[in-house]
């Protein structure tokens, strides 16, 4: 959404540069504002365009949540429950059922022990979105009994310029009276050059 923004209705104050020339600021620039409304409309569009029962969290929502991993983000979606072990998410349930399949950008992704990936290993800042299919359709990889979790990552053509994502948190210990920082800087890099 592109919206022109005017800060005042009167003329802006003028400045003089080193040569004594009067400079007036330009008010013709567009300020592009994206926020909660866009992330809600993106998630609603995914639900509306799908033939299955699906819930989605998009990148704008993931960045606003205080979650470190993709598995913790899933706990905020209706109908998804998580089991915790040692204060970390250990498994995911959809509508109370444990057999959840996992796909990574639409491709089946599993481990040697089970059909689902360990979603606590995915940093939430590196994701473009998470889709939870609660019912199966013919175009999906054979979902589990409970459903399918599709983890979407950011792709090179999703960016129009430089985009930086990261997180900085800390924890305070009463015994040692010190703050210990916890940093997360996922690397999503795309570089290309062509000289013709």
Is position 124 within any domain?
yes
Is the pLDDT assigned to residue 5 strictly greater than 70? no
Is position 125 within any domain?
yes
The total number of structural domains in the chain stands at 1
* pLDDT, tens digit, 9 for 90 and up, residues 6-64: 444 444 455 555 566 666 656 666 666 555 566 667 767 777 777 777 777 776 666 66
What pLDDT score was predicted for residue 23? 62
Q: Which domain holds residue 45?
A: 35-154
Which secondary-structure segment (H or E) carries 61? helix 59-64
What pLDDT score was predicted for residue 126? 75
CATH label of the domain that carries residue 130: 2.170.130.10
Is position 61 within any domain?
yes
**Do 128 and 58 meet the contact criterion of CB atoms below 8 Å apart?**
yes
Is position 177 within any domain?
no
**Do 39 and 58 meet the contact criterion of CB atoms below 8 Å apart?**
yes
Strand 22-23 relative to strand 15-16, pairing: antiparallel
**Do 29 and 106 meet the contact criterion of CB atoms below 8 Å apart?**
no
Is position 121 within any domain?
yes
* pLDDT, tens digit, 9 for 90 and up, residues 97-137: 888 888 888 888 777 777 667 777 777 777 788 888 887 77
Return the top range by mean pLDDT from 99-108, 160-169, 177-186.
Answer: 99-108
- pLDDT over 70, % of the chain: 61
**Alpha-carbon distances, residue 138 vs 34, 52, 135, 141 (angstroms):** 35, 10, 10, 8
């Amino acid at each position: 959404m592109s919206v022109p923004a005017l800060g005042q209705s009167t003329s802006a104050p003028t400045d003089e540069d080193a040569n004594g020339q009067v400079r007036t600021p330009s008010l013709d620039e567009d300020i592009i504002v994206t926020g909660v409304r866009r992330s809600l409309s993106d998630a609603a569009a995914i639900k509306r365009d799908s033939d299955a029962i699906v819930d989605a969290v998009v990148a704008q929502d993931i960045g606003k949540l205080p979650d470190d991993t993709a598995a913790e983000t899933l706990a905020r979606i209706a109908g998804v429950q998580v089991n915790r072990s040692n204060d970390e998410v250990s498994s995911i349930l959809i509508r109370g059922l444990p057999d959840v399949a996992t796909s990574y950008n639409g491709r089946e992704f599993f481990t040697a022990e089970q059909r689902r990936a360990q979603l606590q290993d995915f940093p939430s800042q590196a994701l473009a979105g998470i889709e939870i299919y609660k019912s199966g359709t013919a175009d999906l990889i054979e979902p589990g009994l409970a459903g399918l979790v599709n983890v979407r990552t950011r792709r090179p053509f999703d960016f129009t310029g430089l985009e930086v994502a990261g997180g900085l948190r800390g924890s305070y210990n009463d015994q040692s009276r010190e703050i210990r920082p916890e940093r997360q800087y996922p690397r999503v890099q795309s570089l290309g050059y062509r000289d013709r």
